[in-house]
Amino acid sequence: MKKLYIIIFAIFFSICRAEAIEEITQGSTLNVNDCIELAIQNSPEVGIYKEYVELYKARVGQSKASYFPSIGASGGYDYNNTETRYRTTNNKNYSASVYLNQLIYSFGKVFSQVKMQKFYKIAAEFDLENSILNTANNVKSAYYGVLAAKANVDIQKANVAVNERQYNRTKAFFDEGLVSKIDLVNQEVYLSDAKISLINAENIYQNSIVSLNNAMYIPNAPEYQIENTETFNFKNNYAEVNLINIANTTTKDDGTIEPKEAVLTMQVEKTNILENYKFTKYPHTLEESIEIAYKNRPDLLSMEATKDAVNEALKYTKKEYFPNLTGQVGYNWANNTIYSTNGFNIGAYLSTSNLNIMETRLRIKESQSQLEIAKRNVDLVKQNIYFEVQKAYINMIQLEKNIPLMQTRVKQTLENYELADARYEVGLGNFIELQDAKENYNNAQRDYVQNIYNYNVALTNLQTAMGER
């Protein structure tokens, strides 16, 4: 199962790299996957974990090297001058040798060492995937922040447009003597407040872009646009606005009011943030989500691979009591003043390397303790995953339940605003009633967008807790 997961991950990662966007160009449009791939390419943390994978690949190769023969060679020259009472002798000695050593049997020590390093490599690959998972989480949260900020800017733009038209209408009413000066002044204040809110919304939008650039590790990104996601797909459409001079109206027998001259007419401007919004309930129960997390979470899989590596280290330590069986073949040549020799040699040797029984026993106990620690770490990660998924699931479900309720609230406040606007047009409503209805509608839209943002972040956190991008 673990090997299959690694293969799938490797294939997926290589495909992503092959199709990944290389850089941001001026005026380009990015989707959330583009931003995630840019972050993966640029993340120093991801780069570090990639090097750890390469490091453990090298260690696997080093541990396999014991299966291959080792070659050695030596050569020497020795000059000896000996003087006695009777004579002086000079000896010149030349020697050379080459040999080849091959491990024949290690009683499983090399096998355990290779498996240990392989498990550490698997753990490093899961650590890399965990780093990618966290990077994707950060990008998606920042991405949704941009979408939310952009939607709020659109709401505030519509609010400014509404207040501008409201000011024009109120001024027309004032000129006709239908409203007092205080209504006109108050409308000027509301228009100024709307413009200030728009400036603040645009500032928040710019900061959200900075946060997204930071999540992608791109400090000097050119201007670009981002696409809506399946769970964050607002579309803003503005209703047509017609201004009306309320003085030129007539009341029909059925009570409806129609303008005598369609010079200035007005309807409530709608942002329609509910239009085209697709919402699908989360398909998994809490228990299913936890089971998915146990299968997918790379930090848990890394910890399990580490436990297997420690287990192989224990096996290796226990096998240190056994000797190594090695074979050697060599050629020796020597030449001195008196004679010259040369010849081949071949042999097999059974040997231990500085075996200290007491030390080995204590190292076995140490390895046993390390294995128990690794097992407890696996249990600890499982418990943390359980509570992490549970908390993320509860938060997501709560926000999910709020979505239809807040959709209803937006519709209700819009209907109330339209009624208040119609009443104000015919002189049945007052200015305060109209402004309250307008503010309630505007606030309902902002709260709805904020809830969608919170829901998407909560859903992202749940998916990350489950080990899914």
Region 122-138: mean pLDDT is 94
Q: How far is residue 217's CA from residue 33's CA, in Å, rounded to a whole number?
A: 15
- Across the range 133-151, mean pLDDT stands at 92
Residue 147 pLDDT > 50? yes
Question: Band of the pLDDT at 133, cuts 50, 70, 90?
Answer: very high
Q: How far is CA 414 from CA 163, 232, 255, 408, in A?
A: 15, 21, 23, 10
Find residue 324's DSSP bridge partners.
Answer: 351
- The Cα-based distances of 41 to 6, 33, 47, 220, 454 in angstroms read 20, 12, 8, 16, 27
Residue 239 has pLDDT above 60, yes or no: no
The pLDDT value given to residue 266: 34
Q: In this prediction, what percent of the chain has a pLDDT beyond 90? A: 34
Distance CA 223, CA 326 (A): 67
Section 211-219 average pLDDT: 92
The pLDDT > 70 percentage for the chain reads 83
pLDDT band at 21 (very low <50, low <70, confident <90, very high): low
Report the pLDDT value the prediction gives residue 278, as an integer from 0 to 100. 63
Strand bridging mode 70-83 / 29-30:
unpaired
pLDDT band at residue 422 using 50, 70 and 90 as cut-offs = confident
Of the candidate ranges 157-161, 309-313, 351-355, 375-379, the one whose mean pLDDT is the lowest? 351-355
What ranges do the domains of the chain cover?
A: 2-465
Contacts for 218 with CB less than 8 Å, ≥ 6 apart: 24, 38, 42
pLDDT band at 262 (very low <50, low <70, confident <90, very high): very low
Q: What is the pLDDT of residue 398?
A: 92
pLDDT tens string 62-114 = 998 888 888 988 888 887 777 666 666 677 788 888 988 888 888 888 899 99
The candidate with the shortest Cα–Cα distance to 308, out of 1, 67, 10, is 1
- Of the pLDDT bands very low, low, confident and very high (cuts 50, 70, 90), residue 258 is very low
Contact call for residues 373 and 407 (beta carbons, < 8 A): no
pLDDT at 298 over 90: yes
Q: Is 368 helix (H, G, I), strand (E, B) or coil?
A: helix
Average pLDDT over residues 229-248: 48
For 2-465, the fitting CATH number among 1.10.3720.10, 2.40.30.10, 3.30.2010.30, 1.20.1600.10 is: 1.20.1600.10
